[in-house]
Amino acid sequence: VQAAQRGDAAAFEALFRRHWPMAHRAALLIIRDEHLAEDVAQEAFVAAAGALDRFDRRRPFAPWLRTIVARRAIDAARAVAVRREVGDEALGAIGATEPALERPDARLLAAVAALPLDQRAVIVLRHMLGMGAGEIARVLEVPRGTVNSRLRRGLDALRPALEEQAP
């Protein structure tokens, strides 16, 4: 990070390559739209590059980036939910192109994707990005108790798919 802040493009590329998969996957899990998720992850890196000088380099880079990604992905998912006009028949058509849900892992991912946005977001932020409840509450701008209740409801909904994972 220090080298990137000094203008070392190779150092910035190393940061990008290391964190792109996480950013892209987090956006995809929250938004559920491949193209929009790519746009959001791109925008997160563009924003991070523009704000790199202001980043406190004593702090770790990953949590800072994941907060940017999470905020943008949630904003985009909310905007999609407001604007969405093509209904379930469209989701069916898109789902038909997904790989068959034969493996338990794939069924768990599908179950996460089927959660309502408010529960899906807290599940991804907590279990994929590793955020604490307080951090999630700040990103979502909701009380900490709301985060915990959404997390509980989301995990309850995932329970059947999680039990399939158990040895």
- Interface residues toward another protein, by CB under 8 A: 4, 7, 9, 12-13, 16-17, 20-22, 24-25, 28-29, 33-36, 38-39, 41-43, 45-46, 48-50, 52-53, 79-80, 83-86, 89-90, 93-94, 97, 105, 108-109, 112, 123-124, 127-128, 130, 155, 158, 162, 165-166
Choice between 48 and 140, CB closer to another protein: 48
Check: CB of residue 153 under 8 Å from CB of residue 117.
Answer: no
Six token digits for residue 27: 């956006």
Choice between 90 and 143, CB closer to another protein: 90
Question: Please, what is the minimum distance in Å from the beta carbon of residue 76 to another protein?
Answer: 9
Residue 128: closest CA among 75, 77, 63: 63
Choice between 34 and 63, CB closer to another protein: 34
- Residues contacting residue 25 through CB under 8 Å, at least 6 positions apart: 128
- Residues contacting residue 119 through CB under 8 Å, at least 6 positions apart: 150, 151, 153, 154, 157
Return the amino acid letter for 24. H
Choice between 140 and 158, CB closer to another protein: 158
